[in-house]
Amino acid sequence: MAEDTKDHSPYCPECEACGEEGCCSALMCKQSENGDYCSKYLKDLRFGYYMQRWVENNLMEDLTEEQQAKYNEEWDKAFDKFYKI
């Protein structure tokens, strides 16, 4: 039995995430059939997307022009990072 626990790793064989809440980013998940925590990370990504849309629909117009410009600048950086790979 000691050998079974020795060979077991808590890390996903696909992306090396640990699956602990708040530890590893869902962005590192590859959503693979062989992943250990993909369904959990997909929920995290859906939650993040939902909250992002809520912020855009409910808070953006209340931000100052400076805050909106800062948000838009960061949005552009993130877009370039994830879509211009």
Contact predicate 32/14, CB 8 Å: yes
pLDDT of residue 4: 53
Q: Measured between alpha carbons, how far apart are the two ends of the chain, in Å?
A: 45
How high is the mean pLDDT of the chain?
90
Residues 12, 19: contact at Cβ < 8 Å?
yes
pLDDT of residue 5: 52
pLDDT band at 77 (very low <50, low <70, confident <90, very high): very high
In the chain, where the domains are located:
2-83
Q: How confident is the model at residue 1 (pLDDT cuts 50, 70, 90)?
A: very low
Under a CB-based contact definition with an 8 Å cutoff, are residues 24 and 6 in contact?
A: no
More confident of the two residues 2 and 54: 54
Write the pLDDT tens digit of every residue in 6-16: 567 899 999 99
* pTM recorded for the entire structure: 0.74
